[in-house]
Amino acid sequence: MTKRYRETLEEVAEAEGAPTVFAWRGKRYRVLEVLGHWREDPGWWRRPDGQPIRIEQTDMWRVTAVNGSAESRGVYELVQRGGEWRLDRIWD
């Protein structure tokens, strides 16, 4: 089961483009493993009236992370779009 948050992350550290540490709601999480990475490339979409809209490139990362104790280990989906990071969902 997942819960969607879509909340901005306070901090993200990266190595070779992948997140290694992130901060959310005042807590720091260390990424243990990248489970998956996929990209939605920028593309043209159309509004119902036919006008084009531009979608920014979006990178999504599914990671296992921990914030200090083994009990806090979880699966998190992080999204990077336009230089901003957010926590999209958490699996329990």
Query: For residues 34 and 55, what is the distance between their CA atoms, to the nearest angstrom?
Result: 25
How many domains is the chain partitioned into structurally?
1
- The domain of 9 spans 2-91
Task: Give the pTM.
Answer: 0.84
* Per-residue pLDDT, 83: 87
What b-and-e string marks burial along 46-80, b requiring 16 or more CB atoms within 10 Å of the CB? eeeeeeeeeeeeebebbbbbebeeeeeeeebbbbb
Q: Which residues contact 1 (CB under 8 A, 6 or more apart)?
A: 91, 92
Question: pLDDT, tens digit, for every residue of 18-48?
Answer: 999 999 999 999 999 999 999 987 676 788 8
Question: pLDDT, tens digit, for every residue of 51-63?
Answer: 888 778 899 999 9
What is the residue whose two structure tokens read 């879509």?
6
